Amino acid sequence: MRLSLSFRFADDELNDRLIRLIKTTPIKHFVDDKRVLHYSPADVDAVENDMICSIRDQAFPSWQVLTCPPECAAQYRDYMSRHDIPFHQELIDAEMWFLIPRKYRPNLWKLASKTKRAKVHMAH
């Protein structure tokens, strides 16, 4: 099966933890020259629910992942930086996602009116 899914933590330390973790498994994968992990849709549950979530748990004990349209990512990143909201960026299938502590409520953030709202995809 093709390794058509990809993931990378922007934080090199978190990403290296993920790469070390997947190397301990029999899951077929490939790490490219930009340190992006490529894996098969057949392994999505093990990679995303077990491995990636375990690294997210190390970053924040209680967390949520949110996305926004690509043209709004810089505005969300700036907002979080200005308001001291801790976050980690994730590149999932070439799309930027943000990992943040669960206590924050992105739907309540006051962003420019033209900014499309982020979506919370999962929480732990």
> Are 55 and 95 found together in one domain?
no
> Are 107 and 69 found together in one domain?
yes
This prediction has a pTM of 0.88
Mean per-residue pLDDT for 15-26? 97
> Are 116 and 76 found together in one domain?
yes
Long-range contacts of 75-82 (CB under 8 A, 24+ apart): 75/111, 75/112, 75/115, 76/106, 76/111, 76/115, 76/118, 79/109, 79/111
Q: Which of 44, 112, 58, 72 is nearest to 98 (CA)?
A: 72
**pLDDT of amino acid 44:** 96
> Are 52 and 38 found together in one domain?
yes
Q: Cα separation of 98 and 86, whole Å?
A: 10
> Are 72 and 31 found together in one domain?
no
Q: Cα separation of 99 and 4, whole Å?
A: 22
Parent domain of 42: 5-59
> Are 51 and 26 found together in one domain?
yes
The model's confidence at residue 2, banded by pLDDT at 50, 70 and 90, is confident
Strand ranges across the sheet with 5-9 = 29-31, 37-39, 5-9, 88-92, 95-101, 63-67, 119-123
> Are 116 and 68 found together in one domain?
yes
> Are 9 and 45 found together in one domain?
yes
**pLDDT of amino acid 117:** 59
> Are 70 and 107 found together in one domain?
yes
Q: What is the CATH number of the domain that holds 69?
A: 3.30.70
pLDDT in tens, 50-107: 999 999 999 999 999 999 888 889 999 999 999 999 999 999 998 999 999 999 999 8
| Comparison of pLDDT for 8 and 111, the residue scoring more | 8
Residue 108: CA atoms inside 13 Å, Cβ hemisphere, count?
3
Domain count of the fold of the chain: 2
